[in-house]
Structure 1
């Protein structure tokens, strides 16, 4: 029967199962693909290629000029599909693992950013405290200098007064001597 054109009927159910096989393979859903493959293999290769009686089947789709595919090719396709499902499952597991790793790493980086921000706040507070202490020291120094200035002004005033008194005495002595 290989490479021979035959006329056969595919029921809607078989058509949907074939569509399901494509959908499941593209979704890489291992369990559903395995179930579908098991259902397809349950019919056997003889039943898949046989012509059904149109009186017993509803919603027939008749496909003319279809060549049958050898069993070895069908097995190869099923093995290939099975391999693709396994590969997709492995890729999905790898992606899940990578996502988990990246999520953990992201949390670690978020913690580091939080710690750095807290450290910056501590540094700012520390700098602010140091600046406040510096300002207080400068105020004390300024106050001390202002007191010294006032003291020096008083001293100068006293000295001027003393000088004026001394000059007045000297003038009085000179006038008395004359």
Structure 2
């Protein structure tokens, strides 16, 4: 029998703290923030857990990459603590999580994710990418709204397809996918409006 683990110790206060930090990450792309209010759920990192605890709910369709969807501890805890309906295809998702183990699948996942429509650009998905470092690996220069000039970041060991997709997307379009790169308890965001030069 799977053990349900503790989520936020103080649901209201901890979720508000995480929400403020996530707002900072999205409003100031490339700014590193730490989420330190909850632990991992099985193979799902503590940072990714806290993103979902804060932003997802029973109205939020959630897609998990194969290694996560095969982890019963992950499934049981997300169902219990978040209640987000799990979907089988990334094209159905509001939120998607791509684990480090499954990064090779990005080539099929990225083009499938909803980018919103002209009438409802806010319906573009948010993709949480678990990476191995925010200190090393792919070096990128970010620019755009929320960034004074430019901001240099490292995104860890990413497959070439993901790096190419990041550098080729059009930040002028209101349509697209927002990305959150998570390493353990730290994260940075690259919203759809952020230009990424690698």
- Rg: which structure is higher? 1
Name the structure where strand makes up a greater proportion of residues: 2
TM-score of the aligned structures, taking structure 2 as reference length: 0.22
TM-score of the aligned structures, taking structure 1 as reference length: 0.23
Higher relative contact order (CA 8 A, sep 6+): 1
